[in-house]
Amino acid sequence: MERLSILYASALFSLAIEQGSVDEFEEQAIFIRDALLDGDCLRIIIHPHVAEAEKREFLNNAFAAHINRYMLGFLFLVIEKNRETYLMPALAALIGKIRHYKGKVTANASFATQPDEKQVAEVVGILSSKLDKTVEVSVKVDPSLIGGPFIFVDGYYMDWTVRTRLNELTYNIKESSF
């Protein structure tokens, strides 16, 4: 499934570059993804007993006024080929390709408590300078970390949590006692 989703995303990305509409394609892919995240919309699209014509009509009514003909054609193609389950992964891959092209990454940062704006800005500043990319931070609060952040970005992770330090200390003490 991943391979076909990437092929769809690559084709749409190439078209976005060719049309000079990378920002438009990104906005529309995000719009479609977010609309389909509503469980009822996605259920209609992937339901095997809903006829292709009904799905096309639904997509046309829901999206035609908001997206370009290429994105609408992509949606129709997915329905026509009975590849509805590839839709969300393809949209995610397209968004990822465009964000990579534009030099943007999202850092998933976990903190023991809700960080203030200054802490988040500091993380963004450090990561932006290290990665030489525009960084957005998605913050999650996880009290089990005790303190310090855990950050995953662009395939790398940084773990400065108290929990990890305590686990390392415990391991080192156990290893040295034998």
Pairing mode, strands 156-159 and 134-141: unpaired
Residues 6+ apart with CB under 8 A from 79: 45, 52, 55, 56, 59
Q: What pLDDT score does 178 carry?
A: 61
**Numbers of helices and strands, H then E, in the chain:** 8, 4
Tokens 């590839």 locate to 86
Domain at 105-176, CATH class: alpha beta
pLDDT digits (tens, 9 = 90+) for 153-170: 988 899 989 999 999 999
How far is it, in rounded angstroms, from Cα 70 to Cα 175?
Answer: 61
Q: Is the pLDDT of residue 43 over 90?
A: no
Q: Is there a contact between 123 and 151 (Cβ–Cβ < 8 Å)?
A: yes
pLDDT tens per residue, range 98-114: 999 999 999 999 999 99
- Each residue's pLDDT tens digit, 110-135: 999 999 999 999 999 999 998 899 99
Residue-level pLDDT at 69: 95
pTM attached to this predicted model: 0.74
Strand-pair partners of 151 = 109, 158
Check: CATH 3.30.70.240 for 2-100?
no
Q: Where are the domains of the chain?
A: 2-100, 105-176
Assigned token pair, 83: 């590849």
